Amino acid sequence: MNKEVDTSEFKSFFKSVQGNEGDKCRYNTRLDTYRCGCQHNCSYCYARSLLHFRGFWNADQPKAADIRRIARKVNQLSPGTIIRLGGMTDCFQPCEQEQRVTYHTILEMNRRRVGYLIVTKSALIAEPEYLEILDRSLAHIQITVTCLDDKKTLTYEKASPPSQRVLAIQKLQESGFDVSMRLSPVIEEFMDFEMLNSLDIERCVVEFLRINTWIRQWLKEVDFTKYSLRHGGYCHLPLDEKLKILDKIHIPEKTVCEDVTEHYEYWRKHVNPNREDCCNLRIL
């Protein structure tokens, strides 16, 4: 998920991201309840591509953060701050069902009145035990979907089937939560746009695929020839290609999360509903 990784990136569960990406993101402080691996092990994962070759990525056994240390850190935060839960790994990956570090972190954040932006590919977040503790004035949720075909999705990410993720978004939407579908990365070849536009999803965040050597190897069936723009160590689609894809998405409220500086300025001026917040969170 995060692009720039220094040696402290995977050692600490709490980090403010600086530089190109950190400067653009309003919620650039992240708290990882699990790290050094993610059981979803997505083929396009930026964290995986950066940690794998250093030997710091173990998809089978991610490290759980110590809830006592998290509680101490949360105590130091000012009420009203918004922290991103799961910046390097998914905070609702399967091990959460046993370890429950995310569950207890949410309780700590509620107690301290600190907001949380949860980005996940798991439908677990919409299960009753989590719905009970998510605070509508503190919780901002983005559930990521990259493809709507359950079978195909399994070939490149081991998260909840997209059909369950869509149901989770609809459930959270109906329950009055600040929830968006996160199309991240949106990969034109993988998305059935007609189906996407028929799902009655109200809000989405779009992030386009960027590739490096590792992602190019792991991700199959994508036409990489279009990814001709180099920026920040990755190859990106040019703006006109991104615009063509964006035009196919007819979700009423859409916003673009962007890494390429010139494109970021374009979305900010011409597309994003909130110029100051490309995540377009609903702050109560």
- Which residues, 40 to 69, sit near ligand SF4 by CB under 6 A? 40-42, 45, 47-48
Side chain identity at 53, as an amino acid letter?
Answer: F
Rounded to the nearest whole angstrom, what is the least distance from the CB of residue 254 to ligand SF4 in the complex?
A: 21
Please identify, using beta-carbon distances, which residue of 29 and 110 lies nearer to ligand SF4. Answer: 29
Rule CB under 6 A: choose which of 49, 89, 146, 153 binds ligand SF4: 89
End-to-end CA distance of the chain: 27
Strand order in the sheet with 14-16: 14-16, 29-31, 82-85, 115-120, 139-144, 178-186, 203-208, 253-256
Q: What would the x/- binding string for ligand SF4 be over residues 136 to 175, using CB under 6 A? A: ---------------------x-x----------------
What is the residue-wise DSSP string for 237-250?
--HHHHHHHHHT--
Q: For residues 169 and 268, which CB has a smaller minimum distance to ligand SF4 in the complex?
A: 169
Work out whether 1 is an interface residue with ligand SF4 (CB under 6 A). Answer: yes
User: Which amino acid does the sequence have at 245?
Assistant: I
Query: How many other CB atoms sit within 10 Å of the CB of residue 282?
Result: 13
CB 87 to ligand SF4: min, Å: 9
Query: Does residue 96 touch ligand SF4 according to CB under 6 A?
Result: no
CA torsion 43-49-54-59 (nearest 10°) is -30
Under the binding rule (CB under 6 A), the answer on residue 85 touching ligand SF4 is no
Q: Quickly tell me which residue has 């950190």 as its tokens.
A: 22
Name the residues that contact ligand SF4, by CB under 6 A.
Answer: 1, 38, 40-42, 45, 47-48, 89-90, 121, 157, 159
